[in-house]
Chain A
């Protein structure tokens, strides 16, 4: 039995040399694509890990091997102390998974019915199932949608229901695959707040894949970055920021055209449109904040509108890759 660095407990996820190949038909020829390549990863209970990488980097494949859906080509994997494929049904009780693009709810039944079915499937004691459902309904603000058939929910409502469905059986490990994809800003915000709370109350371990750096910044204390199936970074967000200098961009719409704002402290002027009516300023979130940049701009000219562009995961991946070479 192995222990993590602190010696406190057994890892909740442990992979050694985990590899998965797919055979792809390319015209008439078949070739092999390595989706996950020699991945060695250890996650301790209570951690919140952002698992990021571009499309096709192997994130979903990894998750499917961790949860016993896909059989690894080679390597070792242990999740919650189980071997995912042979112990699939036991593991299902320990893990809650949300696939942002797939539903685990019963499309034609009211949300309430999906919850009670899942409680029955996980064979939860009725009193516990009721208490947990009430808790999730309250915290995810779902009271008014409980009687609605799933097919009639908005995407934001459905994602909240999906998250609740995955957490109903009190899993120790929650895996979220693109949980905020397609959500508007407000829905994203609510979901993130809920997840932070859930972790704080129940000590749940979180592994999430995302294309949204905002998710990682607000939810995760550790970032694992993969590219073409290989692990290229494993550390905290500040470390990732140092590696790539992940910049955010403040876009300001001004009341009148002005010369390029090249003298705002801690920012880099990226460009102007409409004779200086809209200007784009890059800043490093480690060194300053959007509010400070905005305040600095406001002393020079009246700002009528603004938006903040988060660094895209693709850019971060590209930069990490460039930095490695």
Chain B
């Protein structure tokens, strides 16, 4: 079985919710939509306080080329445009909507019927995806319409569907494949049409045999779509790791893109959203969220309207266990700790994880013993100990020379460190600073 060559770790999978069907969560009382839920410029509100909106009404327009629009996931009145502490732990501007009833935009097809064919052209499909505000659902939230328009000089030959879900605990993509496989296949066909190619590979890790079997049986009649089981290893869901695992090609360091090696990678969640946008005219207003944790009473996979407060999800899962030490949005490896449970579900919320205090606590750090475990674990072939030391000494030049911008922040280094050094924290800091320096330098030119 294929996998990427260097680095990687094997955390406990802990997929507690793999056999829990997707349940639909009730509407919230008030939905909150932060204006920056994606990479790039924040969206600009196009509604005002007191406006009446329906499910699917656009409430914010893209703030630039690299941006995405935001739609209301509920019907009701705009209560205020204020700020909210979102999953990144920073106060950001947001639109608050008081929910009244559940009235949908009439243009949205709400039936469960599978729509197989559409006569939209390539440009129309991209426009449709853009208008639906679709972003990468794996967590990075990169606007999908930008990804589907690769630079002209690159020839794309392979579409890779990321169904790896290598993060422990999370099962949202797994359940989506089991319950909406037909929609996903149609979604893949739509994206293939946009890219003008006829070869797609669905990468699934071997710990999901039921999904592999199902997708294989669904794709057996479809030419050009192939299912590739992959050996279990974190961070296989990383774009560059997945490309290497599937095609054996290595993406050069930034600013090179996956398109430079002829690949476009899309998450299965994104593919499903593309299907709904193109075939059902439904913007991105819902997503699947895994609510889980070792001591959670009723861990589950929920279909949640965007903007629902996290507290409502936790309540559905049986409340927050008393011994919870950390509340995380996303997976345990790359997720971010939430400050409290008032944060709203946004486009990138793949999971809500409640970690018991005993596991959450970071013990005191010790000195680096030069064991180089972090170097072995780094899937990008970097030297995390060196980058962290450079960051600690504010030596941004050294960090840049040692390819810090290639870091994908997967956290393998930190999880293997026997001295429990906060390597990723330091690397993130340096990456942020070096990124700023590079941007300033480019702006000068």
| Chain A partners chain B | no
Instruction: Give residues in A with beta carbon < 8 Å to B.
Output: none
